Structure 1
Amino acid sequence: MVQADERPASDTDLITLGRRIRHARTARGLTLDQLGERVGSAPSLLSLVENGRREPRLSLLRAIAEAVGVPLNDLLSTEPPSRRAALEIALDRAQRGPLFAALGLPALKPSQKLPIPVLEQLVGMHQELARREEEAIATPEEARRANTELRLERQARDNYFPQFETIAEDLVTRAGHTGGALTHRTVARIAEQLGFTLLHVEDLPRSARTVTDLRNGRIYLPPASTPGGHGLRSLALQAIAHRVLGHERPRSYGEFLRQRVEITYFAAACLVPRTQAVAFLEASKRERDLAVEDFRDAFGVTHEAAAMRLTNLATVHLGIPLHFLRVGDDGALFRGYANDGVPLPQDVTGAIEGQLVCRRWGAREAFARRDKASEYYQYTDTPAGTFWCSTQTGSGDAGAFSITVGVPYAHAKWFRGRDTPVRRASTCPDPSCCSRPSPDAAERWAASAWPSGRMHQQVLAALPRGAFPGVDDAEVYAFLDKHAPEQ
C-alpha cells in the first residue's frame, strides 16, 4: 500500500511543475547531477520530471523543495515561474497536440539556448494555427452560428441575388433552353461550354455528393436513381456553380456554408430561370391562383425546390413577403426562411434549426390528414398576426416531412386555397400553447415517466477537418487516381 507521502502529485500540471523545478534548480546554480546527488535520484529521472514527462512522487518533491530551498507549495503552484517558463510551457504543449502532429514536423526542444523573441514567435505561430483550426472546424455550435448569420443576411435581401440570376439565365439561354423543364441534355451542354464532361459513376466517394476533376475537365456524379429526376440536374449545376461563381477553397466553415447557399441558389436559377418564372408567377397572380404545385410542375422540379425558388422571386418581383418551412414529422424545423414576420421558433442564440414548430401550425397539422396527395391550406392566428399557408407532405430516407409556404393574411388573396375554412390559433412561444402538459397529466406522470429520447449523434460531433468540411480527402484523391484518363 502506498504511504501518504508517496502518493503522486496527480492534481498538478506536470509541464508547469517541471518548469518550476527547473527554474528553482537553475536559480540555485545546480546541475541535474548535483540535484540528483542531494535528493538521491538519477539525473535522467529528474530530466524527465523537469520536462513534464514523468510524474514525481510527493516524497521526491519534498526532497527537491528542500534541496533548492523553496517551499513545497511554490513548486506545486499552477503559475509559471517566469515569462520564459510560460513561453516554454506553451511551446511544449503545442508540440504535444494533434494539430502539430498533423504537420509532420520535428519537435523543437524549448531549451535555454532559444532566445525569448524566438520563443514568442513560435508560440504566436502555434496560437494562430490553433485559432484558424478552431475557426474552420465544423462544430455544431459553429454550424448553427454560421447558419443563423446566413439566414438573417438572406432575409435582409429578400433572399434575392440578382447577380446569380443574370449569370444563370445567360448560361441556360446560350445552351439553347427556351422554356419548360431544363433537360439533362441542356445541363450537359452548359457543362461542355465551360470545358467539362458529366460522368455518372457507381463508386463516388461516400463523403462527397460530386467530385470535379479540374485537371481533366470532368464532373463525376452518382448514377440516376430516378430517371428524369431533378436531383442529378441540380447536383451537376451545383458542381458547375463553383467554377462559374469563382469559388476558392473555403477558409472557414462559415465560408463553406456560404458557398453551399450560393451554388444551391445558382442551380435553382438555372432550373427555374428568372424571366420565365416571373412571367409564370405574374400570370398566376393576375388570376389570383398562385400555387406551389403549378410552379413545381411547370418547371419539372420538386415541391421543395419550387417552394424555395418562390422565396427568391415573390418579394422582389411580386411584392409578396412570405415564409418557407421544412418540418419533420416530429415537429423539428429542418430548414426555414421568413421575411413576413412569422414568429419562427428559435433558441437563445437565434438559431432555428432543430427547434419545434407549434403543433397548431399547418406544417404539423398537415401530417394528420388522410389525403396526402394534395396541398393542405390553413389560416393561423399568432401573436405576430394571422398567416395563411399551403403545406405539402412527403417522405424521404429520414422519414416524413412537410413543405410549407405561407404569407400574411393580406396577401392570401393571391393564392389558391385562400377560401379554406380551416383556422387555428397559436400563442407559441408561450408554453401553455402546446408544449406544457396539462396539470392533471403532469400530476399523474411527472414522477413516474422516464422516456429515452431519440438522440441524433451528429449534433455532438464536428465534421472531419479536410480541404472541404466533411469530405475524406484521401478517399477523393484515390477515386480521382482510379478514374483519371491515362496520359
Structure 2
Amino acid sequence: MVSAIELTTLGHRIRHHRLAHSLTLDELGAQVGVAGSHLSLIENGKREPKLSLLQEIARVTGTDVTDLLSAEPPNRRAALEIELERAQAGTLFRRLGIPPVKVTKGIGDQTLESILGLHRELQRREREAIATPEEARRANTELRLRMRAQNNYLPDIEHLAEKQLKAAGHVAGALTHRTVSIMADQLGFELIYVSDLPHSARSVTDLENGRIYLPPASIPGGHGLRSMALQAMAHRLLGHQPPTDYAHFLEQRLEINYYAACCLMPETASLAFLQQAKKDRNLAVEDFRDAFGVTHEAAGMRMTNLVTEHLGMSLHFLRVDGAGTISRVYENDDLPLPMDVTGAVEGQLVCRNFSARSAFAERNRTTEHYQYTDTPAGTFWCATQTGSTADDEFSITVGVPFDDAKWFRGRETHKRGVSTCPDEACCHRPDPDLTARWQDKAWPSARVHMQMFAPLPRGAFPGVDDAEVYAFLDKHAAE
C-alpha cells in the first residue's frame, strides 16, 4: 500500500513536470485521457493513479515513470509542503489538538519555513524532555526486574566480548591498556587522552575522525580508563542509535557497562576462576578482583552476571554511600530491600543493621567485613568492602542466603546482625527513651539535597552539554 507521503510526493512531481510544459490540468487531462479534476486529486495526493496513466503522463511531459515515482521532492517548495504534511500527521502535533495549516498558493515559502521551524523546535524539546523523575525511576526499576528475571546475564554480549578479545590477541591475565588500544584500532578508532574533556561526559567519540577522547586519569570510585574506552567502543559494536527515551538510554548504559565487564573479566577465564574457588570453598570478591586487576565494585557486579547462571546460587549486590543510601543494586535472593511506591530501590536507605552500613564502623577497612544478618526473609551472609571518593565514602556488598555461605571465605565469622526492616521500629524510629528525653528540645539544621531541585537531565544523551561537546570536538579536530 502506498503511503500518504509517497502519494503527496508523486503528486508534486507530476505538477512540477506539468507546469514545466506550461500545461493546465485540463490540457494535460485531454492528452492522457482523463478529466482535469481527476488529475487534481492525483496532484494533491488524494488518489493513487494507475500505472498506465503514469506512463501516459510521463510520455506527454517528456520524462519517465521512474522519475515520477522518485521519493525526492521536485523543488524546494514541494519539499517544504511535504515536510509540513509529515509533521502535521505525526503524533506529537496531533496531541496538541489544534487544526493543521492548509497550504495554499497564497502562503509564501518564508511562512512555511517559520511554521516548520516551530515544528522542529517542538520535536527537539520532545526529544530532550526524555522523562520525568518518576518515569525515570520506573524505567530503572523495570530494567532491574527484567535483568533479575534473566539472572543479570546477557549471553550475546558475553560472546561478542570473547570474540573481540580473541581478535586482539588477548589470551589470559588482566586486560592491558595496550590490548584495549588494539581493540579500538581494529574498530577504526584511536584512543586519545586529554585534560579538557567536557565536564558532562566521561568520554567523547569523534565518529568523523575515528577518535575516542578519554580523561588522563581514572575517575575516583571505579571508572577506570580501560572500562571507559571499552564502553565507548561498545556503542559502535552494539549498533546503538541515539536513545529515544530514558528507558532506552538506561538499557544502552547497562549494555556498554556489561560489555566492558565482559572484556575486563572474560566469561571463560572468570568461570574457571570462580568454579575452582567454589570447589575450594574459598570464593571471595577480593580474590576475583585481584586476579583480573579491576575494582572491587566491578568484581562484585561481575559475580552477579555469572554466579547464578553458572554456579547455581542466588545472591545480592549493593553499593551504598556513607549516609546509607543505595546507589546501585541487584538481588535475586529475596533479600528484604527498601523501596518506594514505584518499586525503586535506588535512593532508599538500607537498614542500619546490614553489613553495608555497619562496615563503616570497622577500624580496619583494607579487608572485607563479614557478617550474618537475620531478616524476616531468612538469614543472609555478606562480605562488605568500604572505599571512598573525593566526595564521600561508600561500601560494596556481595551476599548470599545462609545455605550458600559455605562456599565463601569468611563464613566462619561470628559477627551477626538482626534486621526487622521494613518494620520502622528496626532502625528508622528513634529509641523511646531518647525520644522522651529530646523530643521538642532539638532543632537540627537539615542538609538540603540539591537533587530535590535539579530537573532530570535533558538532551538526547541525558545530562550531556551538547554545546560543550561540539566545541571540544571542533577544537581537537583541527589538531
TM-score, normalising length: structure 1: 0.72
Q: Could you tell me how far 1:345 is from its partner in structure 2?
A: 1.0
Number of equivalent positions: 371
Equivalent in 435, 441, 448 of residue 442 of structure 1: 435
- Distance in 2, matches of 1:427 and 1:419, equals 23
Summarize deviations over 1:353-379 as a string: whole Å, max 9, x none. Answer: 111111111111111111111111111
Q: Could you tell me how far 1:90 is from its partner in structure 2?
A: 6.6
Summarize deviations over 1:232-276 as a string: whole Å, max 9, x none. Answer: 000000000000001000011111111111100000000000000
2:335 alignment counterpart: 342
Contact 2:319 2:327 in 1 (8 A): yes
Summarize deviations over 1:92-118 as a string: whole Å, max 9, x none. Answer: 9xxxxxxxxxxx97469xxxxxxxxxx
Equivalent in 158, 161, 165 of residue 158 of structure 2: 165
Give the match's secondary structure for 1:417.
coil
Q: Could you tell me how far 1:349 is from its partner in structure 2?
A: 1.2
Identify which range, 285-294 or 447-456, moves more after superposition: 447-456
Equivalent in 270, 274, 277 of residue 281 of structure 1: 274
Q: Judging changes above 3 Å, is the alpha-carbon distance between structure 1 residues 315 and 329 closer, same or farther for their aligned structure 2 residues?
A: same
| Residues 192-271 of structure 1: pairs in structure 2 closer than 5 A | 192-224=185-217, 231-271=224-264
Contact 1:211 1:221 in 2 (8 A): yes
- Distance in 2, matches of 1:415 and 1:443, equals 44
2:352 alignment counterpart: 359
Equivalent in 448, 465, 471 of residue 464 of structure 2: 471
Equivalent in 388, 410, 413 of residue 406 of structure 2: 413
Give the match's secondary structure for 1:401.
strand
Summarize deviations over 1:162-192 as a string: whole Å, max 9, x none. Answer: 0000000110111111111100000000000
Show structure 2 runs of 5+ residues with no match: 1-93, 100-111
Q: Could you tell me how far 1:346 is from its partner in structure 2?
A: 0.7
Q: Judging changes above 3 Å, is the alpha-carbon distance between structure 1 residues 107 and 192 closer, same or farther for their aligned structure 2 residues?
A: closer
Matched, 1:314 2:307: yes
Contact 1:175 1:190 in 2 (8 A): yes
Give the match's secondary structure for 1:255.
helix
- Distance in 1, matches of 2:120 and 2:234, equals 35
Q: Judging changes above 3 Å, is the alpha-carbon distance between structure 1 residues 435 and 199 closer, same or farther for their aligned structure 2 residues?
A: same
- Distance in 1, matches of 2:369 and 2:156, equals 35
- Distance in 1, matches of 2:310 and 2:397, equals 20
Summarize deviations over 1:179-207 as a string: whole Å, max 9, x none. Answer: 11100000000000111000011111111
- Distance in 1, matches of 2:361 and 2:476, equals 49
1:9 alignment counterpart: none
- Distance in 2, matches of 1:441 and 1:314, equals 44
Percent identity (aligned): 65
Give the match's secondary structure for 2:426.
coil
Give the match's secondary structure for 2:224.
helix
Q: Could you tell me how far 1:396 is from its partner in structure 2?
A: 0.7
Amino acid at match of 2:212: I
Q: Judging changes above 3 Å, is the alpha-carbon distance between structure 1 residues 192 and 133 closer, same or farther for their aligned structure 2 residues?
A: closer
Q: Judging changes above 3 Å, is the alpha-carbon distance between structure 1 residues 298 and 422 closer, same or farther for their aligned structure 2 residues?
A: same
- Distance in 1, matches of 2:368 and 2:455, equals 37
- Distance in 2, matches of 1:445 and 1:388, equals 36
Amino acid at match of 2:336: P
- Distance in 1, matches of 2:162 and 2:262, equals 7
Identify which range, 241-250 or 216-225, moves more after superposition: 216-225
Q: Judging changes above 3 Å, is the alpha-carbon distance between structure 1 residues 464 and 417 closer, same or farther for their aligned structure 2 residues?
A: closer
Amino acid at match of 1:157: Q
Amino acid at match of 1:457: M
Contact 2:130 2:459 in 1 (8 A): no
Q: Could you tell me how far 1:129 is from its partner in structure 2?
A: 4.8
Equivalent in 385, 395, 404 of residue 388 of structure 2: 395
Give the match's secondary structure for 1:179.
coil
Contact 2:127 2:459 in 1 (8 A): no
Give the match's secondary structure for 1:397.
coil
Contact 1:160 1:316 in 2 (8 A): yes
- Distance in 1, matches of 2:206 and 2:122, equals 32
- Distance in 1, matches of 2:294 and 2:273, equals 15
Contact 1:346 1:355 in 2 (8 A): yes
Q: Could you tell me how far 1:127 is from its partner in structure 2?
A: 13
- Distance in 2, matches of 1:133 and 1:426, equals 44
- Distance in 1, matches of 2:322 and 2:160, equals 37
Q: Could you tell me how far 1:226 is from its partner in structure 2?
A: 8.3
Amino acid at match of 1:231: G
- Distance in 2, matches of 1:325 and 1:473, equals 33
1:155 alignment counterpart: 148
Q: Judging changes above 3 Å, is the alpha-carbon distance between structure 1 residues 242 and 226 closer, same or farther for their aligned structure 2 residues?
A: closer
Contact 1:140 1:461 in 2 (8 A): no
Contact 1:325 1:363 in 2 (8 A): yes
2:286 alignment counterpart: 293
Amino acid at match of 1:353: E
- Distance in 1, matches of 2:192 and 2:120, equals 42
Give the match's secondary structure for 2:442.
coil
Show structure 1 runs of 5+ residues with no match: 1-86, 93-103, 109-121
Contact 2:218 2:224 in 1 (8 A): no
Give the match's secondary structure for 1:412.
helix
Q: Judging changes above 3 Å, is the alpha-carbon distance between structure 1 residues 150 and 226 closer, same or farther for their aligned structure 2 residues?
A: closer
1:272 alignment counterpart: 265
TM-score, normalising length: structure 2: 0.73
Contact 1:138 1:469 in 2 (8 A): no
Contact 2:378 2:401 in 1 (8 A): yes
Equivalent in 355, 370, 380 of residue 363 of structure 2: 370
Q: Could you tell me how far 1:224 is from its partner in structure 2?
A: 2.2
